[in-house]
Structure 1
């Protein structure tokens, strides 16, 4: 079975092309399933479109849902189209997001921590001037948020769980027990972490998460799934076979797919 659960499109303001183009790319690449998971609106804001270049407007979300449902029906028999969303995780707004998503027939929700202490994890300059202790505390805060997102019960997939290394590769060398603590927590829930192949486009190179973290995930019994994090149709399913091969080498024997917010496992 070949699938990709993490794709974006032009509504978010920083991805190329329409949803249909991603579905067509998935068919061309012989995928069995394609998940549509654009960035959620900033639901907590009174503004309709708080950050136009980052996520869709609140008023666009119902239109997004309607379009994916229509395409799901249209492509039935050709490819299975799944309705998802990549949601920011803000612990102070958990119930607001939970109640909002419950209105829609989502197949899955990717929970991603994109902000730590009020700053984007991809902000290059956030590490400048920090002491080693402060860097350590930042990493612990990051994994604390990921652990909370697992416990929230909102998400089926946790997105790019070491993406903070994106523009600061040294992040991976910061040692903290918070990583194993978070993985242990994740293993207790019917969720999965994604192997996200977009990391190769950042300074860190490679995938999210790195092999070392995947080995620890396997040790703790954490389920995995696949997502390209495509922001252009040509990246749909990008490096699926390579990820599949590497997971087998690490020792994984199966991975997860989702429908109607339920996790299923299939052989690698």
Structure 2
């Protein structure tokens, strides 16, 4: 296994993950991983089945400290959150950093808030919920819904300054090319405007493979053209399996790596105590089999 194999987007049973932190660490060590970050979904102010509970925040911190004490000599371990951004509703990323002494935050949008009605469109979960929410919140107007999604992502980047922008174009996933195609000019324009803001403010864009290995979508977030645009703008890229159970660690990494190689990525960044550092992609390819590198 590659000595620099890593996972910086990792869920445990503190949120919607399926295994304990210890079990994830054991699997990571067995696979020969170098680094692992736990990034549970941050609490949100409504009932749900996927996020960390407010009352479990310090348990989350304490559990991480325990696994770091146990496994830290064999694995570089970091603590983060995947924090949702819903304007006027979610806790500021600064507060999460301060409270839990986090190494970094992944900023993500899973629920799009219509600025006119205040209703929320859940873009994740089952495809039928995507269509139902689009009809209820946006009266079926997919362009307005998607534009609000990207506007919300841009607002998050400007106001919260996440270290990583999570699955930046995930709004396309449950669409499944039914209501629009990601090659349409209006979609590309809004998406690329969002990347311009990433460049302006700073931040890392992840190449997230979860849609592929879960059978929900045929390409990563972002797609190859989006990755190439990141490279043109000089936006740092990292690889993300968005792991929810230990078995997904390596498989998801390999799929993200394949997409990076296809897009022509030369370097991705890894988190270190002194910040994000570039690592040549060939360092992974020599140990992981991809379709593009033999």
- Provide the TM-score with structure 1 as the length reference: 0.88
CA distance in 2, matches of 1:232, 1:100: 24
| Aligned partner (choices 249, 263, 268) of residue 236 of structure 1 | 249
CA distance in 1, matches of 2:165, 2:261: 21
Q: Provide the aligned length of Structure 1 versus Structure 2.
A: 260
5+ unaligned residues in a row in structure 1: which ranges? none
Query: Is 2:128 the counterpart of 1:121?
Result: no
2:32 aligned partner: 30
CA distance in 1, matches of 2:34, 2:83: 24
1:83 aligned partner: 79
CA distance in 1, matches of 2:84, 2:246: 23
Task: Report the more deviating stretch, 162-171 or 18-27.
Answer: 162-171
Query: Is 2:185 the counterpart of 1:175?
Result: yes
Q: CA deviation at 1:91?
A: 2.8
2:207 aligned partner: 195
| Aligned partner (choices 48, 57, 62) of residue 58 of structure 2 | 62
Contact 1:35 1:84 in 2 (8 A): yes
Contact 2:239 2:253 in 1 (8 A): yes
- Provide the TM-score with structure 2 as the length reference: 0.80
CA distance in 1, matches of 2:70, 2:121: 40
Contact 2:110 2:122 in 1 (8 A): yes
Query: Is 2:170 the counterpart of 1:163?
Result: yes
1:20 aligned partner: 22
Q: CA deviation at 1:180?
A: 1.1
Higher relative contact order (CA 8 A, sep 6+): 1
2:101 aligned partner: 105
Q: CA deviation at 1:241?
A: 3.5
5+ unaligned residues in a row in structure 2: which ranges? 114-119, 282-294
2:116 aligned partner: none
